[in-house]
Amino acid sequence: MKGKFITFEGVEGCGKSTQTRLLKEFLENKNIDVLATREPGGPKISEMIRKLLLDPENKEMLPETEMLLYMASRSQHTGEWILPALNSGKFVICDRFYDSTIAYQGAARNLDRKMIDMIRVYATYGLEPDLTILIDTPAEVGLSRISGRAIDRLEQESLSFHKKVRQGYLDIAKAEPERFLVIDGEQEIGAIQEDIRNKILEIMR
Ligand code: TMP
C-alpha cells in the first residue's frame, strides 16, 4: 500500500506549522500512521543544510547556490524519509516542499522556472504531492505575525520579496487546480483546520 503525501505551503507567518500539527493529531486519532516533517529539514544531513540556508550571517549566498541547497536538502529528505514512509503506507505531511522553491527562488528571486522544474524532478525522484494546501495570506499579515521573534535569512527579505512569493504561490495553484486546495489564511485557526479535514476525508474516501 502506498500512503498519501500532503504538503503545506504559504508565506511566512501563514500558520502552516499549526495546521500541520492539528492535521497530524486528527489523523493519529483515526489510527493512521503519520510522518509529519518539514523543509528544509528532516534527516540529519537535511537539517545541516537548513542551518546553512537560514543563517543570517550567510549574506553572500547566491540565488543559484540557495536553490541548489534547498534541492539537496530535499533530495536527502525525500530519499531517506519520505519515500520509505509512503512505501510503508504512511501518511506524510510536509511543511513546505518544492512549491516553496518555485515561489521563493523562482518567483521572488527570478531564477529560471524550467531549470527549477528539471532539478526538482531529479531531486525528488519524480515524487509529487497528492495534495498541496496553500494557506493564502497577504505578506503584510504574515510578516506582522512573526515580528518580534528572531528572524532567519529569508524572513529578513523585503515586503516586496514576500509579495512576490505570495503571487508565485497563487500562480502555481491556478496552473494546477487539481493538486491544490487554497484556503483563506485570515480565517480562524479552527475554520482553516475544518476546511483541511474535509478535503482529507474526501481524499481518503
Ligand atoms: P520555515 O520558516 O517555514 O521553516 O522555512 C524556512 C525558510 O526557507 C522560509 O523562509 C522559506 C524558505 N524556503 C525557500 O526559500 N525555498 C524552499 O525550497 C524552502 C523549502 C523554503
Q: What is the mean pLDDT of each run of 10 residues along the chain (205 residues)?
A: 90 96 97 97 98 96 98 98 97 98 98 98 98 98 90 90 98 98 98 97 88
Residue 151, pLDDT score = 85
Query: Is the Cβ–Cβ distance between 93 and 33 less than 8 Å?
Result: no
pLDDT number for residue 205: 81
- Residues contacting ligand 1 via CB (< 6 Å): 12, 38-40, 54, 70, 96, 100-101, 104-105, 154-155
Please report, as a single letter, which amino acid is at residue 52.
Answer: L
Helix (H) or strand (E) holding 115: helix 113-123
The one-letter code for the residue type at 170 is L
Residue 57 has a pLDDT of: 95
The residue behind cell 496552473 is 175
Ligand 1 midpoint to CA 9 (Å): 10
The pLDDT score that the predictor gives to residue 171 is 98
For cell 531564477, what's the residue? 111
Q: Residue 171 phi/psi, 5° resolution?
A: -65, -40
Could you give the C-alpha distances from 174 to 11, 35, 169, 177, in angstroms and in order? Answer: 17, 28, 9, 6
Shortest-distance atom of ligand 1 to CA 155: 10
Q: What is the pLDDT of residue 1?
A: 52
The confidence score (pLDDT) of residue 2 equals 76
